[in-house]
């Protein structure tokens, strides 16, 4: 919840992979809550699938602009 879109990339070496993620946040999203949710769920799944207990990760957060309400 709170994420309008995401881009992720698993890079690095086979013995030491690293994850880069870009999250586009909804205008009303809480960055702290969104980052905590990302760390718990998708990042946890990535750690499980790679078999690495600590996966170096860079996350960039960006707010999506919302369209102005139309007044008629």
Q: Where are the domains of the chain?
A: 3-63
Going by C-alpha positions, the residue among 27, 28, 22 that lies closest to residue 9 is 22
Assess whether pLDDT exceeds 80 at residue 1.
no
pLDDT band at 37 (very low <50, low <70, confident <90, very high): very high
As a whole number, mean pLDDT of residues 41-59 equals 89
Going by C-alpha positions, the residue among 1, 71, 68, 72 that lies closest to residue 36 is 1
pLDDT tens profile 9-31: 989 988 888 999 999 999 889 99
pLDDT band at 51 (very low <50, low <70, confident <90, very high): confident
Going by C-alpha positions, the residue among 18, 17, 19, 21 that lies closest to residue 7 is 21
Across the strands, what pairs with 5?
24
Do β-strands 17-25 and 3-12 pair in parallel, antiparallel, or remain unpaired? antiparallel
Predicted structure pTM score: 0.77
As a whole number, mean pLDDT of residues 38-67 equals 88
């Amino acid at each position: 919840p709170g994420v309008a879109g995401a881009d992720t990339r698993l890079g690095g070496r086979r013995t030491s992979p690293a994850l880069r993620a870009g999250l586009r946040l909804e205008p009303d999203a809480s960055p702290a809550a969104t980052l905590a949710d990302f760390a718990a769920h998708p990042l946890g799944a990535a750690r499980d699938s790679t078999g690495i207990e600590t996966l170096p990760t860079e996350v960039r957060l960006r707010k999506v602009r919302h369209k102005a309400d139309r007044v008629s």
